[in-house]
Amino acid sequence: MIAVIQFGGSNCDRDSVRALESLGFDAELVWHEDGLPSDVDGIMLPGGFSYGDYLRAGAMAARSPIMADIRAAAADGTPVLGVCNGAQIGCESALTPGAFTTNESARFQCEHVYLRVENAETPWTSHYEAGEVVELPIAHGEGRYEIDDERLDELEAEDRVLFKYCDEDGSVTPEANPNGSKHNVAGIVGEDDHVAVMMPHPERASLEDLGRTDGEGVLEGFAQ
């Protein structure tokens, strides 16, 4: 069972369940105060505005007791995927390095973007080819990935960057970067690649009736 964790302010939780179920997964909503079930095969931290993004986006949710259980599950090899607000929670709870902060534009942005697959050998990208360009939606006000330059160079050298913002032809340029993320980073993995966070929404591009299925490959990572 894939546990989709709900916090106060989550709003992509049901979208995530629907997308996962369309791919054949057993997915269930889990309220954070109820604790992590013992029979989980994977964990998804969905998008939204947990606790109204007070303090910093994801900061309060990261201190919910369930996150200690999620960190323990991740350490035992359980796949964990954080999307948008879930990515912010993942960084705030040290599942992954760095932080997501206010967009360079200082405004909320809701649009489709292009991503280049940087490492196709993780569970979350194995259904793509390295260098492949996919199109996914974003919807965030604090999606700019920040980390110190030395640490980012290490992540790049360790192939821990999943996706970078690019143009339709796959060129990684400042113009293709919607939020000012360092090095155009859109998603990364943790110390082990079964833990990942990303700002774009794969669950919003995983159903035929939504007009695009480029995100299916990311969610298929729960089957790896």
- pLDDT tens string, the chain, 224 residues long: the values are 999 999 999 999 999 999 999 999 999 999 999 999 999 999 999 999 988 887 788 888 999 999 999 999 999 999 999 999 999 999 999 999 999 999 999 999 999 999 999 999 999 999 999 999 999 999 999 999 999 999 999 999 999 999 999 999 999 999 999 999 999 999 999 999 999 999 999 999 998 887 889 999 999 999 97
The dihedrals phi and psi of 82, each to the nearest 5 degrees, come to -110, 130
Which of the residues are catalytic? Answer: 84, 201, 203
Residue reference for tokens 């629907």: 18
Give the model's pLDDT for residue 209.
82
Contacts of residue 51, Cβ cutoff 8 Å, sequence gap at least 6:
7, 8, 9, 60, 61
Distance CA 83, CA 46 (A): 5
Give the model's pLDDT for residue 212.
87
The secondary structure element, H or E, covering residue 85 is: helix 85-92
Output the six-digit token pair for 128. 């793509």
The answer to whether 115 touches 76, Cβ cutoff 8 Å, is no
The answer to whether 224 touches 79, Cβ cutoff 8 Å, is yes
Alpha-carbon distances, residue 64 vs 40, 90, 105, 110 (angstroms): 18, 12, 30, 28
Output the six-digit token pair for 173. 């340029």
DSSP conformation class of 212: B
Number of continuous H segments (helices) and E segments (strands) in the chain: 5, 11
The answer to whether 95 touches 190, Cβ cutoff 8 Å, is yes
Nearest to 26, CA basis, from 12, 42, 37, 14: 42
Give the model's pLDDT for residue 182.
97
Give the model's pLDDT for residue 57.
87
Model's pTM, two decimal places?
A: 0.96
Give the model's pLDDT for residue 51.
84
